[in-house]
């Protein structure tokens, strides 16, 4: 049985749905849930609403709380990993042999490790994503899909979705507006950025958002930018190519053009720019170690026996809480253990997901395709294997500019934002900054909002 936030008679009442869809779209526009259109991605002259669900989606209260409560531990874990060069080197040894992207990141990490560290403030804004795994013999459990330590988007717009779903509540549906939770990751993330700016200690410093050439999701960023402007902190937006042309370091490694940077982009057009920024006195978000800590390979290594204990040596309770969220994760390294993983995947490919060291959705491999890749490719160490998580489907209407509205069977993914600042060895900020629910039609195995598959949603606690 699928679980929905609204009763069957509402879900199937076409006239009512039509009316609600119109109200929902207007409310979304009214509250700034915006996206530039595919046709004019460079301009805000014509915009539309960001894809979203008509109704919120039920999420068990205890699992939601569990995800919130473990976030500060994940913040700490990422920070500890980012500083542990021996661990990163060992964990990523396989992927950096065959995956150029990870290899280049690692090269920059090594280069800056060998130099005197120009900045002792480390800022990390991350998002840990989960699905609720349902097995026949037990209640749903919280399973981490991945942690994003770079370009963790939708903190801005997720701050505005509750207003849309609450408005439908006002239409006397069974969605009680109070059960759609308050959520303000824009403020949570901006507070951490503001704190980092303050610690940097120069009124002349600006926060730079490093952005891609095509910025359809600009309104998501603007929410956070506005939160900073409200605190009188200046913000600029620059592309890699801009920094390449105009950025320079002075003798103190002060980065001109940029002083605090927020890497909202994954497409590294210029590795030179990345190295220059990494060497600079700017507070980076993320720094290169933090980015590497968020790789799929690190996630897999963390799930091996004894590894979490390395980072939390005297904290068995912390270890247990983090470990409870891990799905089965398996190495593809060359050797007996990797061979066992391959045999296991080939025997039951539908039970697993094969993941490369990539971000942004649409890169994973499923089902029979796993067999093909494993049989053809010699570069298996670039991947990790993960148990496929099976969330309970729910039915909802997905609203997307230009697409017909139809009832869809959907799967949801819960993200929790975290913010962490360390200055030298002192942790000065460690907070959970809000949540994000994304929902997609169950016919897609993979893919986020950016690639046009998932849409924004709200948890409705049950």
Which residue's structure tokens are 């962490």? 420
Site for Mg ion in 327-366 (CB under 5 A): 359
Site for ligand ADP in 308-337 (CB under 6 A): 327
99: contact with Mg ion by CB under 5 A: no
Other beta carbons less than 10 A from residue 377's beta carbon: 11
- Name the binder of 36 from Mg ion, ligand ADP, none, CB < 5-8 A by kind: none
Q: What does the alpha-carbon distance between residue 288 and residue 211 come to, in Å, rounded to a whole number?
A: 17
The only residue of 288, 359, 380, 419 in contact with ligand ADP, by rule CB under 6 A: 359
- Kindly state the number of chain residues that form the binding site for ligand ADP, as judged by CB under 6 A: 19
Q: What, of ligand ADP, Mg ion, none, does residue 364 touch, CB below 5 to 8 Å by kind?
A: ligand ADP
| Annotated catalytic residue within 82, 153, 184, 458 | 153
In whole angstroms, what is the distance from residue 112 CA to residue 280 CA?
10
Catalytic hit among 328, 338, 360, 367: 360
How far is 105 from 128, CA to CA, in rounded Å?
21
CA gap 84, 94 in Å, rounded:
17
Known catalytic membership, residue 127? yes
Give the whole-angstrom CA distance, residue 168 versus residue 165.
Answer: 5
Neighbouring CB atoms inside 10 A of 206's CB total 16
DSSP 330-363: E---SSHHHHHHHHHHHH-GGGEEEEES--SSS-
Q: Does the annotation count 438 as an active-site position?
A: yes
Q: How far is residue 322's CA from residue 302's CA, in Å, rounded to a whole number? A: 10
Binding region for ligand ADP (CB under 6 A) out of 95-103, 182-190, 334-342, 382-390: 382-390
Residue 296 bears catalytic tag: yes
Give the annotated binding-site residues for Mg(2+): 146, 148, 359
Per-position x/- string for 104-143, each x denoting binding to Mg ion as judged by CB under 5 A, each - no binding: ----------------------------------------
Does residue 13 have an active-site annotation? no
Closest CA to 163 of 217, 223, 216: 223
Question: Is 450 one of the binding residues for ligand ADP (CB under 6 A)?
Answer: no
> 36, 222, 238, 296: which is the annotated catalytic residue?
296
Does residue 259 interact with ligand ADP by CB under 6 A?
no
Residues 61-80 that bind ligand ADP (CB under 6 A): none
d(CA 256, CA 282): 9
Q: Please report how close the Cβ of residue 148 comes to Mg ion at its closest, in angstroms.
A: 4
**Helix axis angle, 316-323 relative to 61-83, nearest 10°?**
110
Continuous H helices in 31-84: 61-83
Which chain residues interact with ligand ADP by CB under 6 A? 129, 131, 145-146, 327, 353, 355, 358-361, 363-364, 386, 388-389, 413, 446, 448
Residues forming the active site: 127, 146, 148, 153, 296, 355, 359-360, 438
């Amino acid at each position: 049985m699928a679980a929905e936030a609204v009763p069957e008679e509402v879900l199937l009442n076409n006239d009512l749905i039509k009316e609600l869809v119109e109200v929902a779209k207007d409310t979304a526009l009214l509250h700034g849930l915006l996206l530039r259109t595919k046709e004019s991605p460079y301009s805000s002259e014509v915009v539309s609403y960001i894809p979203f669900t008509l109704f919120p989606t039920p999420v068990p209260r205890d699992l939601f709380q569990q995800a919130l409560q473990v976030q500060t531990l994940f913040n700490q874990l990422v920070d500890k990993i980012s500083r542990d060069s021996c661990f990163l080197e060992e964990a990523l040894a396989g992927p950096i042999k065959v995956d150029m992207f990870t290899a280049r990141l690692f090269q920059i990490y090594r280069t800056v490790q060998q130099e005197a560290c120009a900045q002792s403030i480390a800022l990390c804004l991350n998002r840990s994503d989960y699905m609720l795994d349902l097995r026949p013999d037990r209640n749903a459990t919280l399973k981490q899909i991945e942690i994003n330590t770079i370009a963790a988007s939708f903190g801005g717009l997720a701050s505005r979705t509750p207003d849309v779903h609450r408005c439908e509540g006002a239409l006397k549906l069974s969605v009680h507006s109070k059960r759609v939770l308050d959520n303000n990751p824009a403020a949570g993330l901006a507070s951490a950025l503001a704190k980092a700016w303050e610690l940097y200690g120069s009124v002349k410093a600006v926060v730079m958002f490093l952005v891609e050439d095509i910025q359809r999701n600009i309104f998501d960023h603007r929410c956070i930018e506005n939160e900073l402007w409200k605190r009188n902190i200046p913000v600029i937006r620059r592309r890699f190519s801009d920094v390449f042309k105009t950025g320079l370091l002075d003798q103190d490694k002060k980065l001109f053009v940029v002083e605090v940077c927020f890497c909202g982009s994954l497409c590294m057009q210029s590795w030179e720019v990345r190295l220059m920024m990494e060497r600079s006195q700017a507070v980076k978000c993320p720094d290169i170690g933090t980015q590497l800590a968020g790789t799929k390979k690190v996630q897999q290594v963390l799930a091996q026996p004894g590894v979490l204990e390395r980072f939390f040596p005297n904290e068995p309770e912390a270890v247990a809480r983090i470990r409870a969220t891990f799905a089965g994760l398996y190495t593809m390294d060359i050797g007996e253990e990797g061979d066992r993983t391959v045999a296991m995947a080939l025997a039951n490919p539908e039970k697993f997901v094969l993941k490369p060291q990539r971000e942004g959705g649409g890169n994973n491999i499923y089902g029979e395709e796993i067999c093909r890749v494993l049989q053809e490719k010699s570069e298996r160490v670039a991947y990790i294997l993960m148990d496929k998580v099976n969330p309970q489907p729910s039915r909802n209407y997905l609203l997307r500019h230009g697409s017909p509205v139809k009832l869809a069977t959907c799967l949801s993914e819960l993200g929790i934002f975290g913010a962490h600042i360390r200055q030298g060895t002192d942790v000065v900020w460690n907070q959970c900054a809000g949540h994000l629910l994304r929902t997609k039609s169950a016919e897609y195995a993979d893919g986020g909002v950016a690639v046009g598959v998932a849409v924004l949603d709200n948890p409705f606690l049950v």
